[in-house]
Amino acid sequence: MGDAQKPLFRRIALIGIGLIGSSVARIAMENGTLAEEVVANARTQKSLDRVVELGIAHRVELDPAKAVEGADCVMLCAPVGAYAALAEQIAPHLAPGCIVTDVGSTKQSVIRDVGPLIPDGVHFVPGHPMAGTEFSGPDSGFSTLFEGRWTLLTPPPGTDEESVEKIAELWRRCGSMIEVMEPAHHDRVVAIVSHLPHLIAFTICGTADDLADESRQQVLKFAAAGFRDFTRIAASDPTMWRDVFLNNREALLEMLARFTEDASAMARAVRWGDASYIEDKIQRSRGIRKSLIELKQA
Ligand code: NAP
């Protein structure tokens, strides 16, 4: 058996076992190369009962402190707003040499909330797999979720390099590609590629819902591809997205301000019949779509 086949960790504790956590759990259980033992924790017993039924962990623990005991890898997979309280609960129970990592969609807030609580002798490697769907909970995960997708790692200065490499290897074994990034840069990038599109989707669905009764029914009846695509994004988990917006406030507001300016420019072009402006914008957008397809990220 080569090095690549040996499990990376003895025991991985997944704190949160929804879409992302249960996808990692499935991979760990299916290929056996992430960890010898998978421990799952959730906020509710109901989710843990489901994890047992699905057979996607060796053991479940409702108490996060118990879940991390003896683990050499702890992965926070809960909504980012829950991280501070979770970190406080688990910190005294982390084994020396353990690597704490996470999958949260915001990175400066995670470093702010979790970093100071990490005890000496424990390593902290924040991460963000750029893969997801609009579904949540332990049933929604699947083992190919991260294939061909990027995982961004944002280790604070001075992070143990061996630990960063181990977490990078974990994600490679999940099928992911790795990029190491500065946390503030991460937050700006995801604000434009992920957080702003969600904000727009939630807003446009709200706008449609606020229409007078008769029009609203027609929106649903004749929902065209454009609106339908927005409703898919807008079906995402409210807790997770509330936490993302509140924990990436500056970057999101900056991108929203830029977007609002550009939307006003487009409104002006429509008002004044500036056909070439409108056409030029659409051409540029098609170029972005084409590049995404070429990069296999569509
Ligand atoms: P999810 O499916 O909603 O699962 C969340 C899990 O966290 C559940 O097991 C939940 O337990 C548990 N949890 C613990 N404390 C919680 C609390 N205070 N409030 C709510 N849930 C709590 O979420 P997810 O989509 O896997 O997202 C998990 C993390 O991944 C988030 O930080 C998110 O930013 C990040 N992320 C998400 C995506 C995506 O597209 N979904 C993509 C990349 C990264 P119960 O089931 O018992 O409630």
What is the distance in A from the centroid of ligand 1 to the CA of 240? 6
Q: How far is the CA of 137 from the centre of ligand 1 (A)?
A: 7
* Cα 1 to averaged position of ligand 1 atoms, centre (Å): 35
Helix, strand and coil in the chain, % to nearest 5: 55, 15, 30
From 39, 61, 77, give the residue whose CB has the most ligand 1 atoms within 8 Å, as the site to mutate.
Answer: 77
Domain assignments of the chain as residue spans, ordered by start? 9-181, 185-294
Q: Going by CA atoms, what residue is nearest to atom 38 of ligand 1?
A: 132
pLDDT at 9: 98
Distance CA 235, CA 12 (A): 30
Determine the pLDDT at residue 84.
98
Q: Which long-range contacts (CB under 8 A, 24 or more apart) does 141-144 make?
A: 141/18, 141/19, 141/20, 141/21, 141/22, 141/23, 141/24, 141/25, 141/26, 141/56, 142/23, 142/26, 143/23, 143/26, 143/27, 143/30, 144/175
**What CA–CA distance (Å, rounded) separates 110 from 280?**
39
Cα 32 to middle of ligand 1, angstroms: 23
Q: Are 130 and 149 in contact (CB under 8 A)?
A: yes
Ligand 1 atom at minimum distance from 86 CA: 15
Residues 6+ apart with CB under 8 A from 32: 7
Q: Whose CA is nearest to atom 45 of ligand 1?
A: 43
Task: Quote the ligand 1 centre to 21 CA distance (angstroms).
Answer: 8
Give the whole-angstrom CA distance, residue 3 versus residue 171: 16
User: Which residue has the least CA distance to atom 39 on ligand 1?
Assistant: 132
**77 CA distance to ligand 1 centroid (A)?**
6
pLDDT at residue 3 in the model: 54
Q: What is the pLDDT of residue 118?
A: 98
CATH code for 185-294? 1.10.3660.10
- Quote the tokens at residue 285: 């957008």
State in Å: Cα 104 to ligand 1 middle: 9
Fold of 9-181: Rossmann fold (3.40.50)
Tokens of 244: 């993302």
Return the ligand 1 atom nearest residue 239 CA.
20
Determine contact, residues 13/73, Cβ cutoff 8 Å. Answer: yes
Mutate to test the pocket of ligand 1, among 20, 45, 113, 135 (most ligand atoms within 8 A of CB): 20
Atom of ligand 1 nearest to the CA of 237: 3
User: What is the whole-number distance in angstroms between the Cα of residue 212 and the centre of ligand 1?
Assistant: 35
Structure tokens at 136: 């949540």
Gap between the Cα atoms of 71 and 221, Å rounded = 52
Q: What is the pLDDT along the chain (298 residues), one digit of tens a residue?
A: 445 589 999 999 999 999 999 999 999 999 999 999 999 999 999 999 999 999 999 999 999 999 999 999 999 999 999 999 999 999 999 999 999 999 999 999 999 999 999 999 999 999 999 999 999 999 999 999 999 999 999 999 999 999 999 999 999 999 999 999 999 999 999 999 999 999 999 999 999 888 878 788 888 888 888 888 899 999 999 999 999 999 999 999 999 999 999 999 999 999 999 999 999 999 999 998 999 898 888 8
User: Which pLDDT score is estimated for 1?
Assistant: 43
Distance 223 CA to ligand 1 centre (A): 30
Provide residues with CB under 6 Å of ligand 1: 16-21, 42-44, 47, 77-80, 82, 103-105, 128-129, 132, 136-137, 237, 239-240, 244
Length of the chain: 298
Residue type, 3: D
- The model carries a pTM of 0.94
